[in-house]
Amino acid sequence: MKIHKGDQILIIRGKDKGKKGKVLKGFPKESLVLVEGVNIKKKSQKPKKEGQKGQIIEVPSPVPASCLKIICPKCKNPVKIGYKEKLKTDSFSEKQKIKVRICKKCGEEI
């Protein structure tokens, strides 16, 4: 999944189309993402103790990852994500190849 925790995203489909938010949690097996302030559901909560009242609380629910686009931190636009291999050198002079996400518009590392 190309969307990670902490990314700024834009909703491109559904009832919350056009809203922006920050990714709180990802569920890669189900391809779902939890975004703050988006896809809020109301849930009835029973009283926990005797004499206490029940209440209706608002709970965010996950959104399919296919309905989201990442906002590039440099060009501030919703973009597609690509991958690029980069050499990482350790202090022990070992070279490792790591995969980094890049913006398809400006080529900047995300």
Q: What is the pLDDT of residues 47-103, one digit of tens each?
A: 988 888 999 999 989 999 999 999 999 989 999 999 999 888 766 667 788 899 999
Which of these CATH numbers, 1.10.10.10, 2.40.30.270, 3.40.50.360, 2.30.30.30, describes 1-71?
Answer: 2.30.30.30
Please report where in the chains the tokens 């949690």 appear, as a residue. Answer: 25
3 state DSSP class of 105: coil
For the chain, the structural domain boundaries read: 1-71, 78-110
Check residue 26 and give its pLDDT. Answer: 94
Check residue 89 and give its pLDDT. Answer: 73
Under the phi-then-psi rule, with left for phi > 0, alpha for psi from -120 to 50, and beta for the rest, what region is 37?
left
List, in sequence order, every residue forming a beta bridge with 101; answer none if it has no partner: 83
Phi, psi of 82 (to 5 degrees): -120, 175
Check residue 93 and give its pLDDT. Answer: 62
Q: Are 49 and 41 in contact (CB under 8 A)?
A: no
Quote the pTM value.
0.78
